[in-house]
Structure 1
Amino acid sequence: MLKTACEVIATHGFGHTRTLDIARAAGVSQALLFYHFETKDQLFAQAFGYAAQLHRNALDSIERLERPPLERLRVLLRRCSPGAAPEGWRLWIDAWAESIRSKHLEEISRRLDQQGRLLLRGIIEEGVAGGEFACADPEASSWRIFALIDGLAIQIHVHPQALSRRRAAQLVRTAAAAEVGVAAADL
C-alpha cells in the first residue's frame, strides 16, 4: 500500500491526494486503509518514509561499493540526477513543500538530505586523500553540488520547457568536476 500511496501522491501531490484515491489504486477499501493508518497524515508520513527508505538503501549501496572515488562519484551523480524519473522527483519536490507544515516530513527529508551530503563528502574526502581529487572544502562542495542538483530538478520538473535533462546533467557534471578538480569528461 505504501508503494501505491507514493505513486498516487507523486501524480496528484500531497494537497490533492485523497485517501479514496489511494484505496482505489491499491484495490482496497478506505476502511482497510484506515485500519492500517489511523489518519491521512499518518499514511502520508509513512508513505514518504517508505520512499525515503528506498533512497537511503540506494545511498547505502553506493557507500558500500568497493570502487575508486571517481567511479563512486559517477554512480552517485547518476542516482541523484535532476533528470531522473519524474515520479520520484515530483514526490520529493512536493514533500519538501509539505515539510514546511509537517514536522515529520521535515525530519525525514532533512535526514535524507544529510545522508546524501555525508556520502558525497566522504567520497570527495577519500578522493582527496588518495590524490584523485583536489578539493579544499569537501563539505562546502557537497552542499553546492546537491544544491545545484535539487535546484535543477525543480526547474526540470516544475518548468519542463526551461531546461533539458541532458543539459541539466551536463551542468551537474561540469560543476561537480570543478568542485573536485577533475575534467568534466571524466564524470
Structure 2
Amino acid sequence: MLLEAARSVIADRGLHATTVRDVAAAGGVAVGTVTYHFSGIAEVLAGVLELEMQSYSDPIWARAAQAASGRDGLASLLDGLLAPDDRAHEHWKLWLDFWTLAAHQPRYAEWQSRVYRQLHELVERLLTRGVEDGSLTVDDPAETAVELVALLDGLVVQAYLPGSRLDPARARAVIRRHLQRYASS
C-alpha cells in the first residue's frame, strides 16, 4: 500500500521533488511509519521499482516469451515497453529517476544491472528462437541483444521526456525498422 502511494507521488513529482513526508501523506500514514520501513526516499524508489517490475514489466516479458515465434516475441516485447499509454509513461519516468540514482549509488546500480542482464537474456533467447524457427537471421544473438536493448534505452529516454520530438509511436516504428533488418526473407 505504501509503495503504491509512493509510486503515484514519485511518478507525478519526480524523485528529487518528493519527500518522505509526501509519501507518508499519500499513504495516509505517519512519517515514522515510512522511516521505519525505508531509510530514505531513495530506498522508497527502489521498492517502487521492484514493484514496477512485477506489475508492469513482468507481464510484458512473459507475453514476449510465450509468442509464437522469436520475431513475434521481440515485437511484443518492444511494443509493450514502448506503449503510448499513461501507464507506460509513468513507468519510464520512474525508471529515469532510478537511472540517476543508480549512477551514484552502487547498491542500486547492482540491482539495475541485474534487471538489464535479465532483459538481455530474454532478448537473446528470443533472437535465438527466431533463428531456430526461421523468423530471424542473426549472427550473434548475444551481441544483437545488447544492441537492441541499448537502442531501446535511447528511444525510451527520448520518447517519454516532456516536449520530445519523438513520441512512443515513433519510437516503436524506429525499433521495428531496426528489427526488420534481422527478419528472414
Which category describes the TM-score, using the shorter chain as reference length? 0.7 to 0.9
Return 5+ residue gaps in structure 1 as ranges.
none
Return the alpha-carbon distance in structure 2 between the equivalents of residues 54 and 114 of structure 1: 19
Equivalent residue number for residue 157 of structure 2:
154
Equivalent residue number for residue 72 of structure 1:
73
Identical-residue share of aligned pairs (%)? 25
**Is 1:90 the counterpart of 2:93 in the alignment?**
yes
TM-score, normalised on structure 2? 0.86
**Is 1:122 the counterpart of 2:131 in the alignment?**
no
Alignment of 1:13-162 (within 5 A): 13-55=14-56, 57-58=58-59, 61-62=62-63, 64-65=65-66, 67-81=68-82, 83=84, 85-162=88-165
**Is 1:4 the counterpart of 2:5 in the alignment?**
yes
Q: Tell me which amino acid in the other structure corresponds to 2:82.
A: S
Alpha-carbon contact 2:74-2:123 (below 8 Å) kept: yes
Return the alpha-carbon distance in structure 1 between the equivalents of residues 50 and 163 of structure 2: 27
Return the alpha-carbon distance in structure 2 between the equivalents of residues 175 and 52 of structure 1: 26
Alpha-carbon contact 2:71-2:183 (below 8 Å) kept: no
Q: How many residues align?
A: 182
TM-score, normalised on structure 1? 0.85
Going from structure 1 to structure 2, the CA distance change for 1:40 and 1:90 (only over 3 Å counts) comes to closer
Equivalent residue number for residue 173 of structure 1:
176
Runs of 4+ deviating beyond 4 Å:
none
TM-fit CA distance, 1:88: 0.6
Q: Aligned-pair RMSD on alpha carbons?
A: 2.2
Q: Secondary structure at the match of 1:158?
A: coil
